[in-house]
Amino acid sequence: MMRVIAGTKKGRKIFTIPKDKFVKPVSARIRQSLFDILRPYITGAVFLDLYAGTGAVGLEAMSRGAAKAVFVEHDGQCMKVIEKNIAALGFSLQARAFKGDVLSGVKWLEHFSDYKGYDIVFMGPPYRTSENLPLFYSVRTLEMLAEARITTPNAQLVVQHHVKEEVKAPAGLELFRREKYGDSFVDFLRFKK
């Protein structure tokens, strides 16, 4: 069972996906570390959760003081869980969830930040297909974000990816921190000044 780790909804249950679905939720350990690092940027932030899964990361951001969160997920069952979590935690006024394929573009999400831009973007794309073939979505997604410019100038871009997926900062972005958790890296990027 997953729970919100800290903030106004600390200890509240997060509904999850059945284990037979090919969804790997972000562990409590990674969420705790992630938000320890992002602590100075969370309060009042507009948060974008791409490949949202259960929505655990965006929900944690709102519990810790983010002003707004937008979730994007392709899987219909995951979408239902995200919507259920948003309602159960009382975030319906400050959260929006959309069913969509991140790799088909992100520019349309600009509107949902009220054209002010996202302060923090978290992406946890799937590592593998149901046939256990590797997926390498991280760099493509970062490239789209760099090109779309739907973030604020000082935005934090965070990507969780498999250690075997080589992630390099696309043009205009710089990698400034990397943390390792088991078979995952969590990379922190920002726009070059």
Fold of 2-191: Rossmann fold (3.40.50)
Closest CA to 94 of 113, 117, 75, 76: 113
pLDDT profile of the chain (193 residues), mean per 10? 94 87 79 96 97 96 98 95 97 97 95 93 86 83 94 96 92 96 95 90
> pTM for the whole thing?
0.95
Question: pLDDT at position 25, please?
Answer: 78
> Nearest 5°: CA angle at 68, between 62 and 71?
85
Question: pLDDT at position 150, please?
Answer: 96
Q: Where are the domains of the chain?
A: 2-191
